[in-house]
Amino acid sequence: MTRAYNFCAGPATLPAEVLQQAREEMLDWQGSGMSVMEMSHRSDEFVSIAETAEQDLRELAGVSDDYAVLFMQGGASSQFATVPLNLMGTDGAADYVNTGIWSKKAIAEASRYGRVNVVASSEDSGFTFVPDQSEWKTSAEAAYLHYTPNETIGGLEFDFVPDSGAVPLVADMSSTMLSRPLDVSRFGLIYAGAQKNIGPSGLVVVIIRKDLLGKARRETPTMMNYQVMADNNSMYNTPATYSWYLAGLVFKWLKAQGGVEAMGRLNRRKAGKLYDFVDASDFYANPIAPRFRSWMNVPFVLADDALNDEFLTGANARQLLNLKGHRSVGGMRASIYNAMPEAGVDALIDYMAEFARERG
Ligand code: PMP
């Protein structure tokens, strides 16, 4: 079996051990005589899989009983609407920080449901930094403050958790969840699409402080109502059972690696190596202010755009896949989530050095 190094931003590489376990259990999950995919979501077997996954996530991320953990569907994008429908109230308002393409999508969707106050934006600079919190213009009427700790496309990451005072802090953690330790108690709500650090796409994990449940607007679709999801253990309808199971395997794998502390150390080292290499080179460049460079998504450009195709062809030949940057920003992007081994980053750096020597 050949496993390529897959630098895709999502769906992203998964731990090989997790895929192997899923393969071993594919036809017969632990003597049940069936695949997890074929199990009733109400069966004892699946309920134990679901509960174990939730418990492991709670342990990994340090989620207290003050919070409900929900396994929802529709990806992170559906949360762009679900959050305002549940938290904004009728004729309500919310504060949003604009640091990139995903922030903008969240803002656009929330604007359909109420007044959105953009407290700060780094759009004029091409989203290369995070505006200092002392300059944010928050509004007194905001029901919550929303931000995107890691902008997957731009490769921009907050190196601080905003202080939102008494206003619930809401974070789209899709591309940073479980990549390092986190103080969940600072947040009112966290959501994360699974396809980066958690599991298969489509699944979205929501961690919500329980006092924020029960506030959904009347017209909120039942499937988007956090209270309904919490009351039904995320099984109001048939949940994404196989994705939930796979997420559970990833949580077990993470625990075996030493949890988020160990992941944080590894991720810092992986990203540090790559940025150090880019900075030391005349051929590659990254535009983000060093303080706010993402540990998860590392965009870089070549000195000459005309060499992009050749760079990608050579990378593919070495099994270094999906390095092409997002179509909206161009260049390259290496996504190096938890499951990307350090050896993958080393292989990428070796290739980049060789390409610069030969073509630079
Ligand atoms: N937010 C962020 C930060 C993302 O990176 C993504 C996906 N790349 C999304 C939201 C949208 O996720 P989904 O495709 O699961 O809706």
Residues 6+ apart with CB under 8 A from 320: 4, 5, 7, 344, 347, 348, 351
The tokens describing 334, both together, are: 């290496």
Separation of alpha carbons 144 and 148, rounded Å: 13
This prediction has a pTM of: 0.98
**DSSP-derived 3-state class of residue 192:** strand
Instruction: Check if 295 is active-site.
Output: no
Q: Does the C-beta of 111 come closer than 6 Å to ligand 1? A: no
Residues 75 and 50 in one domain: yes
Q: What is the pLDDT of residue 296?
A: 98
Residues 252 and 266 in one domain: no
The tokens describing 114, both together, are: 């109420």
Separation of alpha carbons 91 and 217, rounded Å: 10
Q: What share of the chain is helix, strand, coil (3-state, %, to 5)?
A: 40, 15, 40
Task: Spell out the alpha helix ranges (H) of 177-258.
Answer: 226-231, 241-256
Q: Does the C-beta of 76 come closer than 6 Å to ligand 1? A: yes
Residues 212 and 307 in one domain: no
Does some domain include residue 10? no
| Sign of the alpha-carbon dihedral angle for 226, 232, 233, 238 | negative
Does some domain include residue 6? no
Instruction: Give tens-digit pLDDT for 258-286.
Output: 999 999 999 999 999 999 999 999 999 99
- Rounded to the nearest whole angstrom, what is the distance from the C-alpha of residue 30 to the centroid of ligand 1? 33
Q: What is the pLDDT of residue 329?
A: 85
- Rounded to the nearest whole angstrom, what is the distance from the C-alpha of residue 95 to the centroid of ligand 1? 20
- Rounded to the nearest whole angstrom, what is the distance from the C-alpha of residue 31 to the centroid of ligand 1? 36
Residues 174 and 190 in one domain: yes
Does some domain include residue 89? yes
Residues 216 and 285 in one domain: no
Where does a domain end: 256, 287, 304?
256
- Strand positions, DSSP E, the chain: 5-6, 67-73, 93-98, 115-121, 145-147, 150-151, 156-157, 169-172, 189-193, 203-209, 284-285, 297-302, 320-321, 332-335
| Segments forming the whole domain that contains residue 305 | 260-359
Residues 83 and 106 in one domain: yes
Does some domain include residue 22? yes
Instruction: Give tens-digit pLDDT for 296-325.
Output: 999 999 999 999 999 999 999 999 999 999
